[in-house]
Chain A
C-alpha cells in the first residue's frame, strides 16, 4: 500500500490543465512512498483523455467509460471501486468546483482523512500538507494521522507533467448503481457577454470590497476615464450588483492579461489571482501591508485608497 491514485478532470470535451499538474504532484508523492502512480479518467471520451495523460511518471491509467459529463454520484462510485481494486495509500484530486463536489463525499465513504487546497506535500513519518489559513495571510502545515489520506491540490501550484510516458491503459469496469445517482445534469449556461470585454483591455483599473459603498465606484470610474483604462472588479462588487457580471476578474469570472492591472482595495484571494496573475505589470493599492495581493504585485502603495485614488486621477487630468 504505497501507491497513489490521482483523479483527473475534464469538462465539456476538454481535459483541464490541473490534470497534468496532478501527475506532477502524484509523482512527487509516489516517489516519496516508493509506489506507483495511477490515474483515474472518469466519463467522457476516456480513451482520448488517456492518450493525452500518458506523460512521464504515470504507471497506469484507469478509464471508466460511463456517461459524458461530470456527475458526482458516478465519480464517487467509480473512485470507490478503483480504490478497492488498487488499494492506494493516497488519493489526490483537484481543488476545483467539481473536485470539491466529490472529494469530501469520497473521503467520508472511504473513511480517509481529507485535506483540501494543498500548496505543498511532504512525506516523512506520515503525510504533511501545507495550505493557507486566515484568507491567505498565513500558511500552515497539517499533519495527517494514520496511513492514508485524500488531498485536493490547488490548481497552478505544481507544473504540468511533460514527456511521453509508457503507462498501461486499463479499461476499468464499474457497475454503477443507477439508483444511487440522484442528481442529473440538464445543461450548461455561459455568463452573457456585455458591452465591454475586459479580457481585451490593455489597462484595467480593478476595484474590490475596499471601496465600501456603491456610490464610491464613481471614484474608480473617474480614474479609469482619466487614464483611458477599463474598469473591472473582484467578486464582491459583482455580488453586490454594483458592476455587471462581465466585469468580474477571477476563477469564476474572466481571465485577463492586460499590460497594466491596478488592483484597488482587493485583497488578492486565490480565486481572484487565478484570473489576473498573467498580467504584465500588477500594481496594488491597499492599506493592509499583509494583503496577499502584495505577494504578486510588481508595484504597490500601502495607503488609503480614498486618499490615493483622487490624487492619482488628478495626475491624469
Chain B
C-alpha cells in the first residue's frame, strides 16, 4: 500500500511585524511544518507501522526553503518526498487551490497511491480547499475534516469520523482510493528521534518543475491586491504596568463585578 501525504510549510508572523507590499516582511516570518499536516504525517506513519508493506511519500508545492519542513516529515517516518516548484510559482502573489490540486494530482498520478492524506487547512492562508480539490482532480472519493480513521484496505473502505460543528461527528464510509483531510487531535504526533533526523538527511527528496510533470500552469485566476493589518473595531481597554500592577487592577475590576468575592 502506498500513502501520499501533502505537506506544506507555513509562515508565522512575529508578535510585532511590518507589511512589505503584499506580504509580511521576511524578517518577521518563521517557517514551520503546517500543524494539520503534522497530524496527517503521523496518521500515515502509524498506518505504516500497523500494516505490512506501506510506503509513505510526501508531496509539497513549495520553494527550496520548504525542504527543511519536508525533512521534518521524513524524520518522523515518511519514506521519501517530492517537491514541485518553479519561478512562475515563486512570482505568483497567490497560488490557488486548483493549481495546487493540479500539481499534486500530477505527482499522485506518478505515485499511484491507495490513500492520500492532506491537512484540513494551512495555518497561514487557511483556504481549507486543497485536499478536496485534489480528490476532484484525481477522480478519487474524499472526506473533509476527519478526526478518526479506520482503514480496511482489503475491503477498500476507510471508515471515518468527520468532525462537524458543535461537538457532532458524522460517521462515514469512504471508498478507496480516497483523499482524507486530517483534523488536529486525530492522533498524538511524535517528535522526531535523533536517529530519525539523521536518517531523514539521506532519504530521497525529488524536485520537479510543473513542466516536468506535464502541467502547464496558465494564468492564475486569483491575485492578492492588498494586505493590511485589519482596522481594529476593538474597544479593548488595556491594563498597563508591571504584572503585579495589571494583575491587581484586573482583580479589582473583577471583584467589583462580584467575581471571587
**Residues of A in contact with B (beta carbons under 8 Å apart):** 11-12, 70, 72-73, 76, 95-98, 100-105, 107-109, 113-117, 128, 132-135, 137-146, 182-191, 203, 226-229, 235-236, 238-241, 245, 251-255, 259-260, 281, 283-284, 287-291, 294-304, 307-308, 311-312, 314-316
Chain A residues with Cβ below 8 Å from B175 are 182-183
Chain B residues with Cβ below 8 Å from A109 are 136
Residue of B with least CB distance to A73: B141
What number of B residues sit within 8 Å (CB to CB) of A? 84
Q: Are B248 and A315 in contact (CB under 8 A)?
A: yes
Q: Would you give 8 A-B contacts (Cβ < 8 Å), ordered by A? A: A97-B164, A138-B19, A143-B225, A185-B171, A186-B172, A252-B167, A259-B259, A312-B250
Q: Are A284 and B236 in contact (CB under 8 A)?
A: yes
Q: Are B124 and A183 in contact (CB under 8 A)?
A: no
Chain A residues with Cβ below 8 Å from B130 are 104
The residue among A140, A203, A241 with the most chain B CB atoms within 10 A of its own CB is A140
CB distance from B247 to the nearest CB of A (A): 4
Q: Are B223 and A97 in contact (CB under 8 A)?
A: no
User: A135's contact among B12, B143, B239, by CB below 8 Å, is which?
Assistant: B12
Residue of A with least CB distance to B238: A300
Q: Are B259 and A114 in contact (CB under 8 A)?
A: no
Chain A residues with Cβ below 8 Å from B161 are 189
User: Nearest 6 A-B pairs (CB), nearest first?
Assistant: A315-B251, A311-B247, A239-B185, A307-B243, A108-B136, A113-B221
CB distance from A231 to the nearest CB of B (A): 14
B174 on interface, CB distance cutoff 8 Å: yes
With contacts A113-B98, A146-B221, A189-B171 taken as known, whether A303 is within 8 angstroms of B246 at the C-beta atoms is yes
Q: How far is the CA of A264 from the CA of B13 in the complex (A)?
A: 20
Q: Are B168 and A188 in contact (CB under 8 A)?
A: yes
B87 on interface, CB distance cutoff 8 Å: no
Stretch of B63-71, B72-80, B226-234 with 4 or more beta carbons under 8 angstroms from chain A: B226-234
Q: Are A298 and B169 in contact (CB under 8 A)?
A: no
Q: Are B247 and A100 in contact (CB under 8 A)?
A: no
B205 on interface, CB distance cutoff 8 Å: no
Q: Are A100 and B22 in contact (CB under 8 A)?
A: no
Q: Are B162 and A295 in contact (CB under 8 A)?
A: no
Q: Are A137 and B234 in contact (CB under 8 A)?
A: no
Q: How far is the CA of A146 from the CA of B96 in the complex (A)?
A: 14
Q: Are B126 and A188 in contact (CB under 8 A)?
A: no
Q: How far is the CA of A226 from the CA of B144 in the complex (A)?
A: 42
User: A227's contact among B230, B244, B247, B259, by CB below 8 Å, is which?
Assistant: B259
Residue of B with least CB distance to A305: B243
B11 on interface, CB distance cutoff 8 Å: yes
With contacts A144-B221, A312-B247 taken as known, whether A299 is within 8 angstroms of B239 at the C-beta atoms is yes
Q: How far is the CA of A4 from the CA of B64 in the complex (A)?
A: 41
CB distance from B98 to the nearest CB of A (A): 6
CB distance from B123 to the nearest CB of A (A): 6
CB distance from A294 to the nearest CB of B (A): 5
CB distance from B22 to the nearest CB of A (A): 7
With contacts A98-B164, A104-B129 taken as known, whether A228 is within 8 angstroms of B259 at the C-beta atoms is yes
CB distance from B259 to the nearest CB of A (A): 5
Q: How far is the CA of A133 from the CA of B141 in the complex (A)?
A: 29
